[in-house]
């Protein structure tokens, strides 16, 4: 019994412990530079696309360990088309809608072949990776297209450039008071949520460890306020974080509180049994890949806004970053297991490793080696822990 509890605890919190250890390691190795306000802001801004793409990739993985290899190319293609439209002077809102629509249509196209024709997802998305990378080069004619002068509002809203931060409505001078106030509000809302969940479980007669919940609340509240204070010491909350927070909140709710969210887990757990129970498994697959296309379009917007341009090379290896974040964050390579908070932890872990090694001056090739080994270790841990439970 105790052995099972230990295994369950390790599966649930191991990545959080590892994340804390890695933060401490890089804090020591960089002399504390990794925790400087500017570096914390850069961590969020530079990895915003990973958080968003990883959330979408999670839904694909939940359906049975399936992945989408095309997302980096879709990010590049949608960004390329968007940059050209922005330079024509079209209405920005219309361009945003068109970019999202293009991403959704691409996702629906790939989802159709996966769900209804039963072409293996690996083949469909590998094809998409090649097709949309090629189309990106065709659209851009192999050149970079700048949007900094033609679309300053787009750049500001989607998180690129030096002024893409939520303004301080309290005029705190050198300290962004709004960031601290926002952190306090989020912390209080989180505490209220945990209290409501505790009361709900106690009414249902479930066994609840109030000590464990208290430790969890204190830890997460401390992290929230740490980020709020760090943001306040630089320029404030980056707009890219707002987009990440919105997507994470929406998909956390979908995966944990809705019927369609439970269907993703059911299909990954046992597709045949799920189909026999009356659930339309084809629709689940279709939604997963259509949604992936939509989020790829949003990631494309964030990418060209941050870079203030579109280039044929943008999006390279984005799919690997998203897949790594999912598996490192606890998603099972077999499907049916994984959470949005876990994916965020995985993305943060990869981002901190990248940032820490960059500050230390580690060669980019060695950075890839480390990221690959971390991914392998996460998958091995998933396989071994399943064997232990069996």
Average pLDDT, the chain: 87
DSSP 8-class letter at 238: B
Using alpha carbons, select from 75, 20, 21, 6 the residue that is nearest to residue 322.
75
The answer to whether 68 and 123 are in contact (CB under 8 A) is no
Whole-number Å distance between alpha carbons of 172 and 167: 10
Give the CA distances from residue 289 to residues 38, 221, 296, in Å, rounded to whole numbers and listed in that order: 35, 34, 10
Whole-number Å distance between alpha carbons of 68 and 35: 33
Q: How high is the pLDDT of residue 161?
A: 60
Q: How high is the pLDDT of residue 254?
A: 94
Whole-number Å distance between alpha carbons of 103 and 80: 12
Q: Which two tokens stand for residue 25?
A: 């390691």
Q: How high is the pLDDT of residue 18?
A: 80
Residues of the chain falling short of pLDDT 70: 1-13, 160-163, 172, 382, 385-390
Give 145's strand partners.
310
Q: How high is the pLDDT of residue 384?
A: 72
* pLDDT tens by residue, 271-283: 889 898 989 999 9
Whole-number Å distance between alpha carbons of 65 and 327: 10
Phi, psi (5° rounding) for residue 238?
Answer: -70, 145
Q: Which two tokens stand for residue 30?
A: 């960089």
Q: How high is the pLDDT of residue 1?
A: 46
């Amino acid at each position: 019994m105790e052995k099972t509890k230990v295994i369950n605890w390790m599966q649930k919190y191991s990545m959080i412990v590892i994340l804390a250890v890695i933060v401490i390691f890089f804090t020591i190795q960089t002399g504390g530079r990794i925790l400087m306000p500017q570096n914390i802001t850069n961590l969020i801004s530079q990895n915003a696309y990973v958080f968003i793409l990883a959330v979408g990739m999670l839904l694909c993985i939940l359906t049975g360990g399936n992945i989408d290899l095309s997302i980096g190319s879709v990010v590049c293609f949608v960004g390329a088309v968007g940059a050209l439209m922005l330079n024509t002077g079209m209405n920005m809102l219309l361009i945003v809608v068109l970019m999202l629509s293009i991403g959704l249509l691409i996702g629906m196209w790939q989802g159709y072949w996966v769900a209804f024709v039963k072409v293996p997802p690996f083949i469909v998305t590998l094809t998409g990776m090649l097709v949309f990378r090629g189309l990106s080069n065709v659209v851009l004619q192999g050149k970079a297209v700048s949007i900094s002068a033609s679309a300053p509002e787009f750049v500001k809203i989607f998180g690129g450039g030096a002024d893409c931060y939520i303004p301080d409505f309290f005029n705190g001078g050198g300290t962004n008071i709004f960031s601290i106030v926002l952190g306090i509000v989020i912390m209080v809302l989180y505490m209220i949520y945990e209290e409501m969940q505790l009361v709900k479980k106690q009414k249902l007669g479930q066994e609840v460890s109030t000590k464990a919940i208290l430790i969890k609340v204190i830890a997460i509240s401390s992290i929230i306020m740490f980020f709020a204070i760090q943001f306040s010491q630089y320029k404030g909350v980056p707009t890219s974080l707002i987009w990440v927070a919105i997507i994470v909140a929406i998909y956390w709710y979908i995966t944990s509180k809705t019927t369609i969210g439970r269907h993703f887990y059911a299909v990954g757990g046992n597709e045949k049994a799920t189909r026999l129970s009356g659930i339309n498994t084809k629709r689940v697959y279709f939604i997963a890949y259509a949604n992936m296309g939509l989020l790829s379009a949003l990631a494309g917007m964030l990418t060209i806004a941050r870079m203030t341009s579109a280039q044929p090379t943008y999006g390279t290896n984005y799919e690997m970053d998203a897949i790594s974040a999912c598996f490192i964050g606890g998603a099972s390579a077999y499907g049916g297991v994984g959470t949005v908070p876990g994916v965020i932890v995985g993305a943060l872990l990869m981002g901190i490793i990248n940032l820490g090694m960059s500050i230390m001056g580690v060669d980019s090739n060695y950075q890839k080696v480390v990221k690959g080994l971390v991914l392998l270790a996460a998958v091995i841990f998933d396989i071994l822990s399943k064997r232990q439970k069996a």
